Structure 1
Amino acid sequence: MKLENLKKRAEDLKNNLYVLYLAYRHPKTPIYAKLWAVLVIAYALSPIDLIPDFLPVLGYLDDLILIPAGITIAIKLVPKEVWNECKEKEVDLKEAKKKGIVAGVIIGLIWAYALYLIIKFLLG
């Protein structure tokens, strides 16, 4: 049962990614909170995980612990009035998903380019 609660909590925190994106764009959000928010959002949308998913149990560690921990820290860094204001905004899920897909593709292309540069460097 504890694993089920942990999964639900992780899913709830992941749902806050769009609100975190809105907080990132808010002019009253401090720069350190914006930087952390960018890192968390980029990692959450990235197709590359710190711990590969094919590893039993450990592979889902980032989905269950790392991403929710990053989101929790980001929420604490954003001023409460900014977070509440962003959370109250109407969330258009279709628009949010579209932006998420575009961001995922861009992050995937960045990873592919980084891999290309590494292979090019290694092969001479």
Structure 2
Amino acid sequence: MRTDMFQQILNDLNSSSADVEASALISTDGLMIASALPAGIDEDRVGAMSAALLSLGDRAGRELARGSIERVMVQGEKGYVIMSASGTEAVLTILTKPNAKLGLVFLDMKRAAEALSKLI
């Protein structure tokens, strides 16, 4: 089943790096497709915020002549929230630790986004 495959890719992403704490695949309209989020995190809120932020980032990239965007990143004192398109229909969102090795995280995230986009 596709949902199980989405879930497996997210679980693999979370376990591939000690820096990745959570991940979710969200439709571009903000609906949760699959997630590997810790207890206590509201899936609906993550979905809505991810879709809104990626949409705003895309608009900013176009209007400020930066071209199509690779990712949107929010850095907080407790870590990063990183969003990246996964095909044209979905957004991959991850939560990382504050001292995450971003180069490795971006690589793992790109691989997961490509795998997920093939299933969508």
Q: Rg: which structure is higher?
A: 1
- TM-score greater than 0.5 by the shorter chain: no
Give the structure with the higher percent strand: 2
Whose RCO is larger (CA < 8 A, sep 6+)? 1
TM (norm. structure 1) is: 0.30
Higher helix share: 1
